[in-house]
Amino acid sequence: MNAEDARQSPIQSWLEARRPWHRAALALVAGALAVLGHAPFQFAPAFMASIMTLIWLLDAAARRKRPIASAFAAGWCFGAGYFLVGMSWVSSAFLVDTDTWGPIWGIPATGALTLGLALFWGAGCALAMAFWTRDMRRVAVFAACLFISEWLRGHVFGGLPWLLPGYIWTPGEPISQLASLVGAYGLSLLTLLIAAAPATLLDAQHKLSARIAPLLAAALVVGMGWGWGAQRIARAPVDQPGAQPMVRVAESGLGQAEKWRAAPDQEWRVLRRYLEATGSPEGSRASIVIWPEGAIPVVNFFMLENPVFLDALGRALGDRVLIVGTTRRELRGQELLYFNSAAIIDGVSGAARVSPQIYDKNHLVPFGEIMPFEDFVNSLNIPSLQAMGGYFTPGARPTRMVVPGAPEAVVLICYETIFPGMVPRGAERPGWIVSVTNDSWFGGGIGPQQHYAMARYRAIEEGLPLARAASGGVSGIIDSFGREASSTRRRGNYAEAQIPPALVETIMARYGNALLVTLLLLVGGLRLLPTKTGNANQ
């Protein structure tokens, strides 16, 4: 054993002595366990322990003949375990219509998606290895480089920022309030830095004071973040004084396959379930009712075109307002276009009046609502693959919509709530956010719980209350701190509460990513700190 090996900790020496497939398996398991940090578990220590393991695996990679390739392999294996477990729920969507897709399509489709997402973790670790050190500075290198790869994952090819590291903090609690300053991405950068810091405790080549310094710094960040978040919750100024209207979010309680059942008058059966959850005008205090995305998902049924259906709906609504997700079509020239939309229907003395303001979903789901590289896919002539793509047309970005009897709102449909920055800001800032989504595609697994947690972070970032109607997921009324005012986890098929007040515009809403860029430069700049010998490349 040489002198350099002698200065390694037993764990680092053990990892370096393992065969490549042993390290790959450990990275895979560590990535899988990291999912315990996210909803519905929210066990942050599991995520942190997994990240420490990844740091030690990268330490071993740094001593290989091809360190960057070894680092990529470790990061990719970690990401594979992370996304295979954390996004396993995707396969459930293929079980809804097995006649079209077949029961086995969910396995390769989910595998291709998750292993593709793992490439970003591999790339982040490879980038980190290009700047790796054997001292505490590698913690900052890791956090900055993984943040860059996670930011790219949220933007490249439309982006899929699912399971961002920052989401391990329960929304509504003090630490999560940091998202009002730097957003979910900035909180992810801080989370990676905090999670990686304890790895330096095993740096046997350094004095105890040097090994413990990153841990103390991380504890200080957590403590200060918690204290600031608690103070924000207690003292944040309100932007809208006065009483807000009562809102009820309701859903049918039917699974996706049951809603899609080919039966005569199916739309009326589904409507009755929604009306039961909505309640009568006399039995509910809510003046605004929200139904989920695709509330009446009957093939070739377009509720906004059906006067008989609208007449029955108007009688049930009374004088209430309904915000509902629905499919609509529109003839433009010679082309008939289809949209995944949200409409506002104002019940006036028992008559339904559809508002001319209709939001058409802007950010469509690839392979679900729109087919990337459609011409190429069609040329393959694989019916099951072609069926994965939708036929929807994207609309314009979300704008404020007039909701009778309530502040102006912005509507986000389905997974639009996982993208920070979709809510208009500045002079166009709304008074609240409405989220309509259909999570019943994904059964009762962890996917709908993760989606709900991410949606709550949009309320924190913007300082706006959120009303979320989710078919098959969690529906609820969320305040401007990401806390539940009411949810279907307590009541069943509906939740009802007064719209919480909006806060004054947050730092994140006012300045966007300016503070995030500053934070990244500060963390990345730690790599340039001199070592004890003054050699920055040591």
CATH number, residue 322: 3.60.110.10
**Residue 498: enclosing H or E segment and its boundaries?**
strand 494-498
Asked about 145 being catalytic, the answer comes back as: no
303 & 451 share domain: yes
Amino acid at 80: A
355 & 386 share domain: no
Q: What is the pTM of this model?
A: 0.93
CA distance 123 to 121: 5
Q: Is residue 504 part of a domain?
A: no
Q: Is residue 2 part of a domain?
A: no
How many domains does one find in the chain?
3
Helices (H) and strands (E) in the chain, counts: 19, 11
158 & 189 share domain: yes
311 & 349 share domain: yes
Asked about 65 being catalytic, the answer comes back as: no
CA distance 301 to 252: 17
320 & 382 share domain: no
Decide: 374 and 396 in contact? Cβ < 8 Å. no
Residue where one domain finishes, among candidates 379, 395, 411: 395
Q: Is residue 463 part of a domain?
A: yes
Q: Is residue 535 part of a domain?
A: no
Decide: 91 and 107 in contact? Cβ < 8 Å. yes
Phi, psi at 465, each rounded to 5°? -70, 160
Asked about 496 being catalytic, the answer comes back as: no
371 & 352 share domain: no
Query: Computed over its alpha carbons, how large is the radius of gyration of the chain?
Result: 25
Active-site option among 293, 416, 461, 496:
293
Residue ranges of the chain with per-residue pLDDT less than 50: 1-6, 380, 382-386, 388, 533-538
Residues with Cβ within 8 Å of residue 336, at least 6 apart in sequence: 329, 330
285 & 193 share domain: no
Active-site option among 77, 125, 145, 361:
361
Active-site option among 414, 461, 484, 496:
414
CA distance 135 to 303: 63
Judged by DSSP in three states, 354 sits in strand
Q: What is the chain's length?
A: 538
284 & 318 share domain: yes
84 & 184 share domain: yes
pLDDT of residue 538: 42
Phi, psi at 354, each rounded to 5°? -85, 125
Core vs surface per residue 37-58: b (16+ CB within 10 A) or e? bbbeebebebbbbbbbbbbbbb
448 & 517 share domain: no
pLDDT of residue 3: 46
DSSP state of 170: P
CA distance 43 to 35: 9
Q: Is residue 84 part of a domain?
A: yes
145 & 200 share domain: yes
Q: Which position has the token pair 């990535």?
A: 31
Q: Is residue 533 part of a domain?
A: no
Q: Is residue 237 part of a domain?
A: no
103 & 17 share domain: yes
CA distance 493 to 490: 9
**Residue 373 is part of which domain span?**
363-395
Q: Is residue 35 part of a domain?
A: yes
